[in-house]
């Protein structure tokens, strides 16, 4: 009985693609596009741009497949390409900081004004975005993508301890920011959930 | 011997406060929970969205001009080149340090030889400069000499006799 291509590991598929089986790359795209999209949205804060980042990252990965030596996992390598592509995109746009309005694409002005109010989520998101780039990268990869420090170190191209230190510093900085922010002391707990739900609905409607 | 004060000296390991460590971990957990709770990035995309994205990527890849690029020779040996470069740089630094030390030693030898030669050429001046050189010991020798000049012959004999008895 022959094994299905879908059951192959990333490395096995990479070898097949390197061997000339272009179609096998489709499995890698299907496996990783969701994670990559999630990551890209977090970095560029713009759905259109995030789509571009994902697409470009996969094409770059395909073109550079010969240089992939499996020292890190394919996922880490792909994420590394995506993080660098996102950084370049942001640099091109000359905008390193996040504007919440960029995420809520196509929202009616009234709904937008409701969402854009200083909610807990937005304040916290602002704190995250104000972190130094490397701290933010480590934090996003760890907290939201649940990656190991080994994977984070591979993606950030730095030693294991540096990745961990960046993550810890990010947490400490956020703790200080959250504790000292007056509005966060008084805010209703369900506001964040409300914003999340609204954002989800808006994006679904827009898609 | 160390004085017993009853108070223990501060130990370096006392700085690691296990309670503070636990507190720090709890704080981190709280921050992570807050981040997860108020996460705005969990945008849900439909399956259609990803199907379309997949198709676009695969259609790009299937284009003739998109090919797996041959790894450039430089890229292939990048790590080895980097190692070789680092090794060479270290070697150059060591060689420069050794060269500097040798030069310093040469200068020292040359200076010593020059001094010796200069002294050889004018030994009278050298003698004079050595003799006129004074240090605190010379001062006491002078003082002793001065005192002896004031002693009588008999007193000097007595002193010498005492010294020989000792």
**Which residues of A are less than 8 Å from B49 in CB distance?**
207
Interchain contact, A207 vs B49, CB within 8 Å: yes
What is the structure's pLDDT at A2? 52
Domain with CATH 1.10.1740.10 in chain A: 1-96
What is the structure's pLDDT at A110? 42
Contacts of A99 (CB under 8 A, 6+ apart): A45
CATH number belonging to the domain at A1-96, selected among 1.10.10.10, 3.40.190.10, 3.20.20.140, 1.10.1740.10: 1.10.1740.10
Interchain contact, B68 vs A63, CB within 8 Å: yes
pLDDT at residue B113 is higher than 60: yes
Largest CA distance in chain A: 65
Largest CA distance in chain B: 128
> Which residues of B touch chain A, with CB atoms under 8 Å apart?
27-28, 30-32, 34-46, 48-50, 53-54, 56-58, 60-62, 66-71, 75-76
Question: How far is it, in rounded angstroms, from Cα B51 to Cα A87?
Answer: 26
**Shortest CB distance from A200 goes to which of B44, B70, B71?**
B44
Secondary structure (3-state) at A70: coil
pLDDT at residue A190 is higher than 60: no
A-B contacts at Cβ under 8 angstroms: 118
Please state, in angstroms and as integers, the Cα–Cα distance from residue A65 to each residue in A18, A19, A68, A78, following that order. Answer: 7, 11, 5, 10
pLDDT at residue A27 is higher than 50: yes
pLDDT at residue B163 is higher than 80: no
The pLDDT-based confidence of B159 (bands split at 50, 70, 90) is confident
Q: Which is more confidently placed, B9 or A147?
A: A147
**Shortest CB distance from B31 goes to which of A22, A59, A175?**
A175
**Shortest CB distance from B41 goes to which of A29, A33, A41?**
A41
pLDDT at residue A138 is higher than 80: yes
Q: Which residue of A has its CA nearest to B78?
A: A67
Q: Which is more confidently placed, A102 or A42?
A: A42
For a pLDDT cut of 90, what percent of chain B falls above it?
19
Span A30-41, average pLDDT? 92
Q: Which is more confidently placed, B142 or A62?
A: A62
To probe the interface with A, which of B41, B46, B48 has the most A CB atoms within 10 Å? B41
The pLDDT-based confidence of A30 (bands split at 50, 70, 90) is very high
Interchain contact, A59 vs B54, CB within 8 Å: no
Full DSSP string of A76-117: HHHHHHHHHHHHHHHHHHT--S--HHHHSTT--HHHHHHHHS
The pLDDT-based confidence of B101 (bands split at 50, 70, 90) is very high
CB A90 within 8 A of CB A44: yes
What is the structure's pLDDT at A112? 44
Q: Smallest Cα–Cα separation from A173: which of A145, A122, A143, A139?
A: A139
Q: Which is more confidently placed, A76 or B70?
A: A76
CATH number belonging to the domain at A101-207, selected among 1.10.10.410, 3.30.1360.120, 1.10.10.10, 3.60.21.10: 1.10.10.10
pLDDT, tens only, A48-104: 999 999 999 999 999 998 888 878 899 999 999 999 999 899 888 865 454 444 443
Cα angle for residues B41, B49, A148 (degrees, 5° grid): 45
For a pLDDT cut of 90, what percent of chain A falls above it?
41
Domain with CATH 1.10.10.10 in chain A: 101-207
Asked if the ipTM is above 0.90, the reply is: no
pLDDT at residue B66 is higher than 90: no
Question: How far is it, in rounded angstroms, from Cα B60 to Cα B52?
Answer: 12
Interchain contact, B28 vs A168, CB within 8 Å: yes
pLDDT, tens only, B1-45: 444 444 555 555 555 566 677 777 777 888 888 788 777 667 788
What is the structure's pLDDT at A1? 45
Interchain contact, A37 vs B50, CB within 8 Å: yes
pLDDT, tens only, A103-119: 433 334 444 444 434 57
Interchain contact, A200 vs B57, CB within 8 Å: no
pLDDT at residue A177 is higher than 90: no
């Amino acid at each position: 009985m022959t094994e299905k291509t879908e059951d192959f590991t990333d490395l096995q598929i990479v070898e097949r693609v390197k061997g000339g089986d272009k179609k096998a790359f489709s499995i890698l795209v299907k496996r990783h596009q969701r994670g990559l999209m999630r990551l890209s949205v977090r970095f560029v804060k713009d759905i259109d741009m995030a789509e571009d980042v994902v697409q470009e990252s996969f094409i770059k990965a395909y073109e550079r497949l010969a240089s992939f030596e499996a020292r890190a996992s394919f996922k880490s390598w792909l994420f590394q390409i995506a993080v660098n592509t996102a950084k370049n995109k942001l640099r091109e746009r000359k905008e390193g900081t996040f504007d919440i309005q960029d995420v809520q694409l196509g929202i009616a002005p009234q709904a937008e004004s409701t969402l854009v109010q200083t909610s807990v989520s937005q304040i916290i998101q602002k704190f995250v975005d104000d972190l130094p780039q490397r701290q933010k990268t480590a934090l996003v990869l760890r907290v939201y993508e649940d990656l190991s420090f080994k994977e984070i170190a591979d993606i950030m191209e730095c030693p294991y301890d540096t990745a961990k230190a960046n993550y810890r510093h990010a947490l400490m900085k956020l703790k200080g920011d959250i504790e000292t922010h007056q509005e966060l002391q008084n805010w209703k707990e369900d506001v964040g959930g409300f914003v999340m739900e609204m954002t989800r609905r808006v994006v679904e409607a827009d898609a | 011997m160390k004085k017993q004060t009853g108070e223990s000296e501060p130990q370096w390991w006392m700085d690691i406060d296990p309670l503070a460590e636990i507190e720090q971990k709890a704080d981190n957990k709280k921050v992570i929970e807050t981040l997860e709770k108020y996460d705005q990035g969990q945008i849900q995309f439909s399956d259609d969205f990803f199907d379309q994205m997949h198709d676009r990527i695969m259609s790009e890849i299937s284009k003739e001009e998109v090919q797996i690029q041959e790894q450039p020779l430089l890229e292939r040996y990048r790590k080895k080149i980097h190692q070789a470069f680092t090794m060479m740089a270290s070697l150059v630094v060591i060689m420069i340090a050794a060269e500097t030390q040798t030069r310093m030693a040469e200068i020292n030898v040359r200076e010593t030889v020059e001094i010796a030669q200069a002294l050889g050429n004018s030994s009278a001046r050298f003698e004079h400069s050595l003799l006129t050189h004074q240090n605190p010991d010379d001062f006491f020798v002078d003082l002793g000499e001065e005192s002896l000049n004031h002693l009588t012959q008999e007193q000097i004999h007595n002193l010498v006799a005492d010294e020989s008895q000792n």
